[in-house]
Each structure stands twice: as C-alpha cells, then as structure tokens.
Structure 1
Amino acid sequence: MKQYMLLCSLILLVCSCKEDPEVIFTQAAVKKEEKKKSLSYLPFTQIELNDLGGFKPTGENWIIVGDVISDRKTKRTVTFSEGTGIILNKNDQEKEKNKNLYTPFEHGDIELELDVMVPVGSNSGLYFQGRYEVQIYDSWKVKKPKYVDMGGIYQRWDKEAPKGKEGYEGTSPRVNAAKAPGLWQHLKVIFHAAKFNKAGKKTKNAWFEEVWLNGVLVQENVELTGPTRGGGTNADEKPRGPLMIQGDHGPVAFKNIKYKLYEDNKLKISNLVRTEYKHSGKTIGNLDTIAKVSEEKAKVLSFSDVTSKRERKMVAFSGTLSVPKSGDYLFASQTTGIAELYLNKKKAFRFKGSRDEFGFNTVTLEKGNIPFTVVYNQHAPWARGCNLFVEGPEMKAYSLFEGVKKGAGEFDPLKGIIVEPKDKPVMQRSFVNHKDQKHTHAISVGTPQGVHYSYNLATGSLLKVWRGSFLNTTHMWLSRGFKQLGEPVGFAIAMHGDLEFAPLETENTPWPIPLPENKGFKQLGYELDASRMPTFSYQLGKTVITNTFTVPEGSRQLNKSITVSKGKNLWHKIADGENIKELPDNIYVVNNESYYVDLSGNELKATIRNIDGKDELLIKVPDGDSKINYSIIW
C-alpha cells in the first residue's frame, strides 16, 4: 500500500531555512565570481608524461599514449590512441618481457599522488623503494576487501614456512573504495622509510602513514617489519630506493603522477618566552601598547592551557626560529579566535576563523635564524582552539605546537553516529554538502543493498551517490550538533547538482542556474512504494516530473527512471565533466568524478556538447509525455 508524504514534505520545505534559492529559468548561465583561494599546500614535482624520459629504460610493454579505454566486460582489455599524458602498461609481451617500471630518483619519505585505470580482472602494484607494495587490483565487486584488494598493503612472504603459511602480515583496506574497472581512480600515499643508525642498523621500521583511495582513507599508520612479497628480504632494506610500478601482472594505465620528497627537516624553536596580555577585545592590536599580565621563559610552544578553559585570554609566544633550508614555507592556521604570526618582526599571517576552516599563507624564508612571535586571542570562551602548521622544502607539514598532530580531531566518516539500513530503505533529512555548497532542503536515501544517494528537494536534482555504509549523523546529533551535515560513509560520486530540466533556445544555449526570483518550480513531495523506496515529484510550469531510483542486487549502480508529463521544449541534463566520451552500446564515461552512464535501455538519444570548456551530456525531451531511463555506475 502506497504511503503518501506530500503534505509532510511540503510543510518541511516551507518551514526550513531559505539558504537554497527558488528556481527560475534563465537563458544564460550566471557565473558566480570565484573567490581567490590561498594555496593550501606547496607544489608537487610532476612526472611529465610526454615520453618515457621520466623513468629508467624498461620493456616494450610500457608506452606513452593520449587516451585509454577499457572494455568493462572483457578481462584485461585496453584500447588506446596516440598522444601524451598517460603511461600505459599494455602487458602484451611474453611474460618474462613484461618489465616493471622504475623512477630514476630514489626516495626515503615520500608523498605520492596519481590517477590509475585498472581493466577488468587486472593487477598491478606500487612498490615504495621497490620494497613495500600498495596493491592495485580490480576489486569493484568485492564486499569484504583483503590485503590483495585495491588499496591493500600486500603481505610478507616466508618461503621457508610450511606450505599454506608462507604469507603473513598484510593489511586490508578499511573499506572497499575501488571504482568499476575502466574508470580513473585516485591514489594518495604518504610513506615513511625505515630508519638506520650510522652503523647501518635499522632503528625504526618503514610505515605507511596514510593511503587514500578515491578520497577515502583506507590505510592509516601501518608499520612494516620488512619488505612485502616481491620486494626482497630484510637484508635488502635501505634508507632509499626507487619507486617501482609492477608491470608483469596485467595491463594498467597511470596519469597525473606527482610527488614530494621529505627529509627530517623541522623549524627549530629556541629562546621561547610566553607573555599573557591584559586584553578582552575581539582584535589583537599593537602588542607594545597592551599591558602585560605575566611574562616568563617557556620550554614548549603550546596554547593548550588557554584552550582547555572557558575564559577570555590573549597569549603570545616569542622566540627564535632556525630555518634549515631557504625556500617557500606554507603556514596554515586553524583557530576559533584570532591568531597572528610575525616573522622577522613583520606580520606574516592573520587568521580569524572557525574550527572547521584553515587559513593559509606562503612566506619565503632564508636559511638561518629569525625572530618570531605567534599571538592567540581567545575572545569567545565558548569557542576555543588554535593550531599552527608549517610545510617547507623537503619538510612534511606538521604542527609547530607541542603534542599536536596534523589531522588530529578531523572528522572520520567511519566513526561516530552511523545510520544504517537493515531490511528496509531509510530516509534522512539533513543539510548536504555538494561541491563546497551547503544544501538545506536535502534528503538522503539508504538502501539495504548498500547503494545510497542524496537528493536536493529544492531543485529536484540528484546530488551524490555512494556505496558502503549509509550516513554519518554525528554533526547533526552529537551534543548540540555542528554544521548539521549528513555525511556519506565511504567514497561518494558527486553528480552535477544543477537543474536537471530546463528549456534551451538553441543547442548552444548555456545551461541555466537557479535564481532567487523564480516562481516556476513547485515541489510536490514524495511517495513511498511497498518496499519504502521513494518517488520524488515536482512541477515546472505545467510540466510534472517524477524521479524513481532503484538498486539492482549485487552491483554498484543506481537506476534512475524519470517520467515527464506535459513536457514542452525541455532538455534533460544527465552529467557534466572535464570530458565525456561515448562508448559502445550507448554507454558514456564521465571523466571528472569518473563514472559510467548506461543509456542502453533508453530510446532517446543523448548529445555531448562543450560549453565554456566543460562537456555536458544532454537529452532533448519530446513534447508531451515521455520516459527516460538510465543507470549510474561507479
């Protein structure tokens, strides 16, 4: 029996905050002025893929190409076109002639980012220092990932152990964040090399600080007692070694390879003095004109004694910074009060923010000693906290404050208050972040099959889809709440999030955006079917549009069925991205978020157009009544 939620939904929309504007059709997209963003990290070193010159000489299985397409139904199959920007392992030689790929540089501690495409059933790996492997594998349909799966840290191997017990250690990813084969996936790895004393004796094991796959933290602080299988023995461990990409296990493609090499560089602090000021204002002002409450020598730089108490207080630390290497240094501050940093008696940084924001500033420093002062004004005792991080040449970002680790206190979507569907779908109203914009009239739907989505009720638009656990509501329900956001658990694919239907004067008319004065969009609410899956409805003028979503068993995809009643001169926007390619069988690949759109069951023909440097996938909707069906696969 259908349960109608129209009235409740309308009441919720009327009573909700009005951050989301009403929608109006305009015949020209109005571009928002982009705020100039501060640099949030120092630049990486890019491996140029114009030729193979960025690597040591290798086998004929490795080539530079301009584009790669993988058949998502045929094992270990790739096609490519000429060009530059992608390095492809064809894996088409006789087995012993499919060679691994090595960098000419050797590394100790390193931060590495790259994009990788894995065909169906294929296998590769990233060997840090040629010894410690992060696995690359087609793990799309795996429910419980193991060390052999994408993002896993491969096991070690003892060939002298009894048969069946040779493998040991190895670390599984926290979640399966792998995409469908043939899609570009993003890997980020922070690796620390083993440490040795002057006599060559190992004093500390190698470890992976972080492994991120498609924006999800899948490994954290994993220690390695020695090389993983294929990386040699303990006797082979050294302070440095080349990055190696496995080339003999199957075809694989890479692009956007970049890295940073780190040493144990730090800004050394000395001659530290702590000063407390008699000040209760909301600014800092000229310290020379403010009365001092106390001044004393200090052993550590820390505001913890201030931030741990609910009181107004302004404190400064002054001293000497020893700069180990000339170059650019990036300072990042996170504070709920006001913080200022002075270097060489000049203000280098001022930040007034909130606990979920960072302020950034880059300063060029010369090697040697310089005076510094950092000031924190905790003018609102109910909002407390101050951190200051620095990154520099061969220096990994770290906190200048004693006992603070970068990332400490950051939100972890796998922990906290998790809403999980069991035998029926679950719907949860919340604010939803989409492409750095908070949507207040949003609802998220979780299914027992583990495929979930968020939908914008204010514009009738699909915002994001994901698979895994459903929704983290910690920011909504813990204590008084914070940001009121429902956060996907696991990696999410962001859809375009714009209006999904609009009239266009010509095929080249820019897609319209919502404007506040609209009176043409009317939300009609949603209704539940017998399984409690919702169908959403809204009205554009005289046209009524419904959206129904279903999830097939055993796959990571969301089926979308749209009905249009009394349509007139409408277009439907399915996707946009940096580029969209048509594949056989009416399937398209969208290469910003990197997902497939399967239109094979649809009678209407889609069109790819490029507007302002961005591809859009559109369908011209016939006048009258019509249906549009397609699947989103990732």
Structure 2
Amino acid sequence: MQNNYLLKRKPLKAFLLAICVPFFASAQNRMLQQQIPLNDLSAFKSPSPNWSVAGSVIADFNKPNTITKKEGTGILVSIPGKDKNEDIFTNMEHGDIDLSVDVMMPKGSNSGIYLQGRYEIQLLDSWGKQALTSGDLGAIYERWDESRPAGQFGFDGVAPRINVSRAPGLWQNIRIQFQAPKFDASGKKIANARIVRIILNGMTIIENAELQAPTRGSAFANEAATGPLRLQGDHGAVAFRNFRYSTRVGTMTVDGTRQVWDSNDKPVSVDVKGEPVVFRSFVDIPGKRVTHSASVGLLNNISYGFDLERGTIYQIWKGGFLDASPMWLSRGDGNARAIGSVISLDDKPALALIHEDNQAWPDTLEKGIFRQKGYELDETGIPTFKYNFDGININDKTTSEDGKGLTRKISVDGPAPKDLFARVADASDIVDLDNGLYAVNNFTYYVQLDKGVKPVIRNSAKGKEMLLPIKNTDKGTSVQYSLIW
C-alpha cells in the first residue's frame, strides 16, 4: 500500500470554521477578567445540600455518577443524594456574556449551563459518540411544546458539528459567547438571543445560532435582558472550576466573507476519508518546530503526531486532521497544523537506557544512537514505524479501535538489554486510579496499562514521569499502553 497524501481543497467558509476560530478563541482567553469566586458558596443563591466547594475531586471513569472530593476551595461540586437536589443560581446576573469554565463529569453524568437561567447548553458524558444530537456535550438543548405532533415535542435544538468530548473524569473546557435578547423602551423584544460561538476543548462546535425562545426547563417563563447563570444539579454528579467571564461579546462572524489569503491562494486541508493517512511535514509545537513529523490520521476523527527523529508521539488530537495551507500558500514554509482539540505530550526521546535509579531521562539523543528506517503500512493502512535505537531494531505501532483513545505497542526484534525503558508520560502529576489506570497532568488524559504491568513512576523536571521497562518474555519483547482522552 502506498503512502497516503490526500490533499483536498475545502471551501473557504468551512476552512475558516475549522481552523481560524480555535486560534481566535485562544487569543481571546486573556480578555476574561471577571471571575465567580469559589472560596465558599456565597456567590450563589440559597444552594441546596447537593452543592459544596472542594479542593480536589475525582469523577469516576467507570462508575456512573460517582464523584469523590477532598476538602478545600476552588471547585464547585454537585453530588445528588437522598436529600433535596436542586439547581444552583449565581447572585450575578448577566446580559451578553463570554463565559469560560472547566467541567468534570463521571461516567454517564448529565448536567447543564443555563444562560440567564433560560437557555441551556448541555453537559453530558458524550465520550466516543459518533452521531451527535442536541442532547450531547456542548449542544444547545431543544425547546419543548407538547401541543406539537407526537414525536415532535422537542425542536430547535442545535447539535455540535463534531465530537471533541473527553473521557469521563477528565477536565474539559467549554467557552460560550452569548448575546442576550434585546428590547425596546416599551419592553417589546426586537432581537432574539444568540449563541455567537461555543468552543469545546479548543474546538468551535457551534456558531451563529439564534435562540427564538428559552429552551426546555427554563427557570423563567419570560425572556429578559438579564438573568443569573444556572447550573443543573439534580440530574447527575458534576464539578466546575475556573469560572471566568466578560460582558463584552464581539459580533464577528466567521461566514466566509473575510479574505485572509491572497486572492490567488486557496486554503488546503488534509482529510481522512475511508482509510488512515500519513502526512510528512514540519509541525510547530510550543517552543520548537518538529522538523521530521509524520502526522497520522486514523478513522473516527482521532490523530497523532510522531517525531521521526526521536520515536516520540508528541501530540494527540480529536477533530479534523491537518491544515496544510502554510506548506502551499505563497512560497510555503513546510508547516502543517492539527485541526481539532489537541493535547500536547512529551517531546523528548521515547526510549533510553537507564542504568541507575537516579539517572535523568535524556533531553536529546547522542549522534548516531537513533536511526529512522521508515514505516510499513498494514492491510488497513495503519503504519508501523521502524527505527534502530543503539543497535536495537524497534517496531512502533499505534492503533485505535473506536476513536476513544490510542493503543501503542513498541516491540523489539530479538532480546533487549535489561535497562531499556520507554517513557510513557512526563507531566506535572500522575495519579494512580487502580486497575492500571493513571490520570496524567491534572486529569488531562489517562494512561491505561495491561493487568499486572508495573510502571516506574518517579520525579522529573516537570513533576512526575512514567517509565515502562521493555522486558524479554516468552511472548516476545515489547511494551504496550493506551492513551485515553
């Protein structure tokens, strides 16, 4: 099977929606200067017993609606119980609002953010779903009218355009840019409320949605110029942190009319359709340029970046695949950018010979110790990267069965020295959640190990690192782990 370089040209509108908006959103985060304090519950009106403030939480990956918490401040938690369970309302009331908040939900949980207490943005464990509805994470929930024909009571909901939801128990960020309805001096509504943009985990999922009226479950029968934020607390366990907002909402719409390229240039995207894609380019990541990158787009909107000089998976993402415009516009600079919700990983060498417990993981490789030998595609188009590390032939293959995560297997041709290790993670922290599951970098993603595998977790310059010894066994010499997010 030949290498796949599927360069497709998209309409400018679609390209701007997918590419430009995440960068715009990131640049605007610093404008959200106001906060909802979470030192206690004083920012809220008469909270019911299901609400509390905590210092840390764990929302269970496997057990539905299960959150555990520790004392402290900074996190708002709802754990529905036997007592009265209600939603919570802020003392603050808003009209237009640009709101950013981090959300954590356990498996199967259901909650919501009601703008002005009236218009619900859905919160749901939607991890891995392929067909999205107005009931999924980040959606605008539907309106409701039982006078309509049977089966059509719910209407006017807006589903996300793509699923970038993360796994249960991981922190996710949602940003909502909302324009309140407008009224004249007599109180007559002259403009409907509008969602300018919803950005989930860095990816725009809804844009330019007009809200004709409150969604189902509104706390108020009328519409008004202002109202409180309302957080749903009676459906499922949920945690919130980092409420930041501004009452200034820009009206810029990304509708394809803005010309951002030369008139003779057209944007170029690389798509995954029907089979995996391997694409060679430069890739810029924080602080450096990966000059020998192989970006791999698998099915179900999941991708990863592989550094051919270090044998390292340096980033993973869900969403689209690549924006290759910088390679082709004007003179080109050889760079391609991931389209989607990106998680940055360790960019240091994947393998090292560690002779002593206190020996630091190398930042670079000595000249000649690593030799790239290309890659082979299997019958489905998935690559196995081949390289030689210090005289040891390595096969490195990463797969995904369902789009929920990646499974990487590093195997050795022949025996391996006893001090050969693979570094799986290097992050601020690594939390052991039992049964081979580890939360990495303050619950940004998980590492799942096979039963019985014991990693080495030790201090590093960033905080903690996880190493796996590559052991010789009767079944061969290899290590395997999964990245879940």
1:558 and 2:406 are equivalent in the alignment: yes
Matched-pair contact (CA < 8 Å) for 2:317–2:341 = yes
Matched-pair contact (CA < 8 Å) for 2:33–2:245 = yes
1:605 — aligned with what?
454
1:110 — aligned with what?
97
1:628 and 2:479 are equivalent in the alignment: yes
Q: Which residue of 497, 505, 515 maps to 2:347?
A: 497
Counterpart secondary structure, 1:585: coil
2:189 — aligned with what?
202
Matched-pair contact (CA < 8 Å) for 2:272–2:299 = yes
Give 1:142's aligned amino acid.
K
1:378 — aligned with what?
none
1:514 and 2:382 are equivalent in the alignment: no
Give 1:155's aligned amino acid.
E
1:549 and 2:419 are equivalent in the alignment: no
Q: Which residue of 212, 227, 230 maps to 2:199?
A: 212
Structure 1 gaps of 5+ residues are 6-37, 263-395
2:173 — aligned with what?
186
Change (3 A) 1:620 1:480: same
Task: Give the Å deviation of 1:442.
Answer: 0.7
Give 1:121's aligned amino acid.
G
Q: Which residue of 452, 456, 466 maps to 1:617?
A: 466
Instruction: Output the CA distance in 2 between the equivalents of 1:607 and 1:558.
Output: 21
Structure 2 gaps of 5+ residues are 4-26
Task: Give the Å deviation of 1:560.
Answer: 0.6
1:62 — aligned with what?
51
Counterpart secondary structure, 1:236: coil
Matched-pair contact (CA < 8 Å) for 1:572–1:621 = yes
Give 1:169's aligned amino acid.
D
Matched-pair contact (CA < 8 Å) for 2:375–2:385 = yes
Instruction: Output the CA distance in 2 between the equivalents of 1:408 and 1:243.
Output: 33
Q: TM-score, normalised by structure 1?
A: 0.66
Instruction: Output the CA distance in 2 between the equivalents of 1:484 and 1:446.
Output: 18
Task: Give the Å deviation of 1:114.
Answer: 1.2
Q: Which residue of 114, 131, 134 maps to 1:144?
A: 131
1:252 — aligned with what?
238
Task: Give the Å deviation of 1:54.
Answer: 2.5
Task: Give the Å deviation of 1:568.
Answer: 5.3
Deviations 1:556-585 (A, max 9, x none): 121110124533533321112232211121
Change (3 A) 1:123 1:476: same
Instruction: Output the CA distance in 1 between the equivalents of 2:89 and 2:472.
Output: 58
Instruction: Output the CA distance in 1 between the equivalents of 2:179 and 2:384.
Output: 50
Q: Write out aligned runs for 1:265-414 (5 A).
A: 396=249
Task: Give the Å deviation of 1:508.
Answer: 4.2
1:451 and 2:290 are equivalent in the alignment: no
Change (3 A) 1:578 1:50: farther
Matched-pair contact (CA < 8 Å) for 1:4–1:527 = no
Deviations 1:354-408 (A, max 9, x none): xxxxxxxxxxxxxxxxxxxxxxxxxxxxxxxxxxxxxxxxxx5689xxx999x95
Task: Give the Å deviation of 1:208.
Answer: 1.2
Q: Which residue of 427, 445, 461 maps to 1:577?
A: 427
Instruction: Output the CA distance in 2 between the equivalents of 1:409 and 1:46.
Output: 35
Give 1:219's aligned amino acid.
I
Give 2:450's aligned amino acid.
S
Change (3 A) 1:409 1:496: farther
Change (3 A) 1:586 1:59: same
Change (3 A) 1:496 1:408: farther
Change (3 A) 1:149 1:483: farther
Q: Which residue of 439, 442, 455 maps to 2:293?
A: 442
Instruction: Output the CA distance in 2 between the equivalents of 1:158 and 1:531.
Output: 48
Deviations 1:442-498 (A, max 9, x none): 112223454322211011111222344433333334x54644333333323322222
Instruction: Output the CA distance in 2 between the equivalents of 1:214 and 1:200.
Output: 38
Counterpart secondary structure, 1:584: coil
Matched-pair contact (CA < 8 Å) for 2:134–2:160 = yes
Task: Give the Å deviation of 1:425.
Answer: 2.5
2:382 — aligned with what?
533
Task: Give the Å deviation of 1:240.
Answer: 0.9
Give 1:490's aligned amino acid.
G
Matched-pair contact (CA < 8 Å) for 2:426–2:460 = no
Give 1:131's aligned amino acid.
R
Q: Which residue of 364, 367, 373 maps to 1:524?
A: 373
Give 2:233's aligned amino acid.
G
Instruction: Output the CA distance in 1 between the equivalents of 2:308 and 2:94.
Output: 50
User: Larger C-alpha radius of gyration, 1 or 2?
Assistant: 1
Counterpart secondary structure, 1:475: helix
Instruction: Output the CA distance in 1 between the equivalents of 2:229 and 2:437.
Output: 36
What is the count of residue pairs matched by the alignment? 454
Q: Percent identity?
A: 39
RMSD: 3.1
1:83 and 2:69 are equivalent in the alignment: no
Instruction: Output the CA distance in 1 between the equivalents of 2:245 and 2:295.
Output: 37
Deviations 1:483-537 (A, max 9, x none): 433333332332222211224464444432127x733222222222333322112
Counterpart secondary structure, 1:41: helix
1:587 and 2:432 are equivalent in the alignment: no
Instruction: Output the CA distance in 2 between the equivalents of 1:464 and 1:251.
Output: 30
Task: Give the Å deviation of 1:621.
Answer: 4.2
Instruction: Output the CA distance in 2 between the equivalents of 1:483 and 1:569.
Output: 40
Matched-pair contact (CA < 8 Å) for 1:577–1:593 = no
Instruction: Output the CA distance in 2 between the equivalents of 1:213 and 1:150.
Output: 9
Matched-pair contact (CA < 8 Å) for 2:106–2:168 = yes
Task: Give the Å deviation of 1:176.
Answer: 0.9
Matched-pair contact (CA < 8 Å) for 2:31–2:246 = no
1:286 — aligned with what?
none
Matched-pair contact (CA < 8 Å) for 2:32–2:244 = no
Matched-pair contact (CA < 8 Å) for 1:588–1:598 = yes
Deviations 1:242-267 (A, max 9, x none): 111011111111112222223xxxxx
Matched-pair contact (CA < 8 Å) for 1:111–1:191 = yes
Q: TM-score, normalised by structure 2?
A: 0.85
Instruction: Output the CA distance in 1 between the equivalents of 2:389 and 2:343.
Output: 27
